[in-house]
Amino acid sequence: MKTVHSAAYDILRQHGLTTIFGNPGSNELPFLKGFPEDFRYVLGLHEGAVVGMADGYALASGQPTFVNLHAAAGTGNGMGALTNAWYSHSPLVITAGQQVRSMIGVEAMLANVDAAQLPKPLVKWSHEPASAQDVPRALSQAIHAASLPPRGPVYVSIPYDDWACEAPKGVEHLARRQVASAGLASPAQVQGLCERLSAARNPVLVLGPDVDGCGANGLAVQLAEKLRMTAWVAPSASRCPFPTRHACFRGVLPASIAGISRCLAEHDLILVVGAPVFRYHQYAPGDYLPADCQLLHLTCDPGEAARAPMGDALVADIALTLEALVAGVTPSERPMPVALPQPEPVADDGGLLHPETVFELIDRLAPANAIYVKESTSTVGAFWRRIAMREPGSYFFPAAGGLGFGLPAAVGVQLASPERRVIGIIGDGSANYGITALWTAAQYNIPVVFIILKNGTYGALRWFADVLNVSDAPGLDVPGLDFCAIAQGYGVQAVQAQTGAEFARAFSAALAGNRPVLIEVPTQTIAP
């Protein structure tokens, strides 16, 4: 007899979902029974870290990734991390164990009451199958739903007595199914975009995370060069879609209405690709667009297109449409933009290290294809100005701003990208949200270099407190943390670096090794 259990593993295997991130409870044990030898189980000590690791793995691999959580409590623990996965279009297939079917109605311990409602609205699809025989089909639907554009997390609650039930007839067809999307803009739509771009006096390119997500960075460069456009990264950047040392590159736009209009004031046409219009943050009202300026929006997400407050949007495959634009636009005779000058090194005053100094050393010593997982929110601006990122998939940041992404995501990204070295740059406030990921890094010998920038405070909140005129707010400082002791307790080698020379030695040694290392760096507090 073929069971629901064996049918489910056949479906997962066929679609390449053989790495499972989880933290099991009693409801999940029947699913894990007889765990196949060709699968890999990655254990996290908290569901927030589990979802964060899976998020990093999915973003770096570009493939749907399987997550196994524990009922309602485990789902709740993972919800903070799920916000980042939702906004980063991360294709997570999340399952949660449910009580046996006969015990759900009486709300027995560990019953996930109204399970499908729990993760909304942070999933594309949420479901609890009506019968055991529908579990394989629901799992297949979840994989395809997560993978179709716009990608995103999905959720399936599965009663644990379903796994031993007999699978329905015809279940073998599910494992063989393939679902593809075709999203190329029509010739007329492409021609219309090309004509408007070619006719613009001074167009500008604004690129978002979905450009990097589909590997279209090189096409963005070709379009910028052909039209002699400057290129910005859309605000609240969670990925790097354009090489940061290219002559056309201008940096990351501020996350405010007035700030964006100010930065783009000289342009008459803005082409936004692969980003919402726009992910604002601080409240700085103003004109959505500079005077006499038009906006064109190319996105894979109908929701992003529908909710934008201005501009003309086209929902289509980003890579295919960029390729068509590169082929169709008339080359510009404008001069090529001049590269921005690199910032001067910050003078060493003999006190705590400046974050800028740390970034300059990282940029000098790290491999050219290094991947940076960043969650030090108060140093974002300094990082983008001083770190060269040239290749696709080189930068990951929490897409929703939810802390706890950095440490776990760095572990997941490294698992998905063993040929590249992952460097996690984490603030001391942020690190505590996902600190248990250090245990996973140690147990599975995942060679991430974790750099903790330790300033003893929530630096971004300090800046916001001044902006909002609430500098006397309590709870903004986090003194007394010893990350070297914490890391060593989890089994990760750790060292503190108080000078630039000490950091350079520790960082070089970590890169030369093949195991996880944490470097704690006491630093000054700077503004984002």
Catalytic residues: 25-26, 28, 47, 70, 281, 401
In one letter, which amino acid is 362? I
Is the CB of residue 317 less than 8 Å from the CB of residue 183? yes
What is the spatial order of strands in the sheet that 40-43 belongs to? 40-43, 19-22, 65-69, 92-98, 154-159, 125-127
**For residue 154, what are the β-bridge partners?**
93, 125
Instruction: Report residue 278 CA to chain centroid gap.
Output: 17
Instruction: Report residue 422 CA to chain centroid gap.
Output: 14
Cα distance between residue 196 and residue 527, in whole Å: 39
Token pair 């006397």: residue: 472
SS3 breakdown of the chain: % helix, strand, coil, rounded to 5?
40, 15, 45
Cα distance between residue 31 and residue 8, in whole Å: 9
Q: What phi, psi does 49 have (nearest 5°)?
A: -70, -35
Cα distance between residue 253 and residue 260, in whole Å: 6
Alpha helices in 167-317 (DSSP H): 172-176, 187-199, 209-213, 217-227, 257-263, 302-307
- Return the H-helix or E-strand segment holding 43: strand 40-43
Instruction: Report residue 439 CA to chain centroid gap.
Output: 21
